[in-house]
A and B are shown apart, each in its own frame.
Chain A
Amino acid sequence: MSGSVLEVKNLHVSIEDKEILKGVDLTIKGGEFHAVMGPNGTGKSTLASAIMGHPKYEITEGSITLDGEDVLEMEVDERARAGLFLAMQYPSEISGVTTSDFLRSAINAKREEGDEIPLMKFIKKLDKDLDYLDIDQNMATRYLNEGFSGGEKKRNEILQLMQLEPNIAILDEIDSGLDIDALKVVSKGINQMRSDNFGCLIITHYQRLLNYITPDFVHVMMQGRVVKSGGPELAKRLEAEGYEWIKEELGIEDEETAEQNA
């Protein structure tokens, strides 16, 4: 089987009656790495949440499909089992549930009843991935994300990515709060996933992550739209010059000013 295709078309998303996404188009195919950049509050996490099915976000227009299937018709868990994964900007803490119990349940959720992953196989793979990501073994027996440092939570998200092997992953600021060594380790984990069967959308503010993970495409989001797309050089220019030049080039006004002018 070759890779999946995630297609977002003319996506409009509101939260509490405020329109955040105002027509986003984006296609991610297996084998491709996309980066999404953009100023704070422009809707990057909203896009990620809408794709995964966060309960607070309302889709008012547009479509999301995965290999032609209507994602918006699916429950959150169905989306995951269809092959989507979201490494969250702020992962929840689940008290009383160990990381390893949770992972095993999640792996088995994707498998048929009666075809659960053998315990030894699970443990072996978990140990290997923990090792690969330089994560202390005891994290597996700690409660999921409870009391984890910011960086530990991010590593844990990548651990889950490696364990669950989705077809399309969205990584929302996976680099925030990581020290330099952790950044390398996490990038290593993500790069290891690279294959024709794996497509990835990386939301980030910084070029430094993209130094380790070279994207095939870079998109800039502003005011709820993808306003510019390009190759890896676009990210480098953003790092050097910020977003002002894009606004000028495209004639984008700041929202407050726009409202005043209206």
Chain B
Amino acid sequence: MTVETKLSFNQEYIQAFSKERNEPGWMATLRSKALEMADSLEMPKPDKTKISNWNFTDFQHSYKEAAKIASLDELPEELKEYFDEDASMENLYIQRNQTAAYNSLAQKLQDKGVIFTDIFTAVREHSELVEKYYMNDAVAVDQNRLTALHAALMNGGVFVYVPKNVQVEEPLQAIFWQEDNSSALLNHVLVVAEEGSSLTYVENYISHNDTEENVANLVTEVFAHDNAQVAYGAVDNFAAGTTTYVNRRGVAKRDARIDWALGQMNDGNTVSENITYLMEDNSASEAKAVSVGRGKQTQNFTSSIRQFGKETDAYILQRGVMKGSASTIFNAIGKIEHGGTKSNSEQESRVLMLSEKSRGDANPILLIDEDDVTAGHAASVGRVDPLQMYYLMSRGLEREEAERLVIHGFLAPVVAQIPIESVRKQLTQVIERKVY
């Protein structure tokens, strides 16, 4: 299959799109410049995965607004699995296709100045704030053709803002529900935690296009200012028809911390980059990710933490389970820049192979431009330990059940980090579905 690389969107289309949404001038300009750049920029080059045959650029962008969700009761059962039934979901955003269909935020958080709203509303109502962060210091418009395309055609997403010294105790949850299989999702999540603030954010991506082809081009930008703490959880669950590019970046300032727990459960081809910049002293990040590859899908995951500040602390943990003839590359890149003295960079990548035909690679990379640092890495690719199976089966567990326990145990260090219990459960179910 050859893919038409000429883009099928023009300036008129984009300007009309922007205008329809009453976007401020800066956004219209950014879109327009981005489209100009997109043509000449290179595609991303994920290490060891060839994506030249993947279709990231030919898709339908126009869409009809979806119906709003008046009450959570009207959601399909399958979607209700995603939130805690008992907990009153006070801080919830549901995006139905590209439409902000449901949005709530606890009054007390609103009173404190917390913002949790869809990206279009944010661009209009908090224009200056969004402009300051949007595709500047975390993900650059011109990073590659896909980031430029994203900037030009962004059509959904959410904005989270927590003012100085405000602690958001309850998680904020976003559900990006692709009910419609025909139009692409270019979703943008922007999280800003001001000085001394803290928050937990969890998102789910869901689609059902097992056969219909579609594209997801997702960008997340997280900013943790001095002494702020952000815990970011995600479960990506696009169906086999979606080709996904997801670029999640974080920028941490002095004494700040950004922790990621990513459940990368797409069934289609996926390129995922998760990069955190520890810009200032004593900042820290844990980047944890799990994935299950099945069928014929090919995936490439990069987790990287770049350490500029002194005494920064980075930990990357990747766990993958491969079956069928799936092929997955895990790149873990720890980089301590010159000047990042007394910093620590640790990483661990482990892949469990369940079938002969699947392929899994774990590439641990440490790049260190400073002497006075500590670093360590571990990587392994292996099969389920027959002695573990023997031990479990000797207690009466059937082979399948024993294997199930071993696999859940293997993924547990990441799954346990997913902040909302219902999302954790739901991730466990997805893992179950994917493995069996």
Contacts and interface: CB of A to CB of B under 8 A. Distances in A.
Interface of A: 52-55, 75-77, 79-81, 85-86, 88, 91-97, 101-102, 105-106, 109-110, 143, 160, 164
Contact of A109 (B385, B390, B397, B406): B397
A106 B408 contact: no
A97 B404 CA distance: 10
A77 B413 contact: no
Nearest to A160: B395
Interface string B400-436: 0110011011111100000000000000000000000
Contacts of A105: 397, 401, 405
Nearest to B386: A55
- B interface: dominant SS: helix
Given A92-B385, A92-B388, A80 B405 contact: no
B379 interface: no
Contacts of A86: 394
B398 interface: yes
B136 to A, nearest CB: 40
Contact of B405 (A77, A81, A94, A160): A94
A77 B387 contact: no
A90 B391 CA distance: 10
A106 B395 contact: yes
B304 to A, nearest CB: 25
A254 B119 CA distance: 82
Q: Which of B386, B398, B410 is the most central at the interface, judged by chain A CB atoms within 10 Å of its CB?
A: B398
B396 A102 contact: no
A251 B408 CA distance: 54
A186 to B, nearest CB: 18
A133 B298 CA distance: 50
B395 A109 contact: yes
B394 A80 contact: yes
A77 B397 contact: yes
B393 A92 contact: no
B392 interface: yes
B124 interface: no
B409 A94 contact: yes
A109 B405 contact: no
Contact of B393 (A80, A101, A160): A80
Contacts of B338: none
A96 B394 contact: no
Contacts of B21: none
B399 interface: yes
Nearest to A109: B396
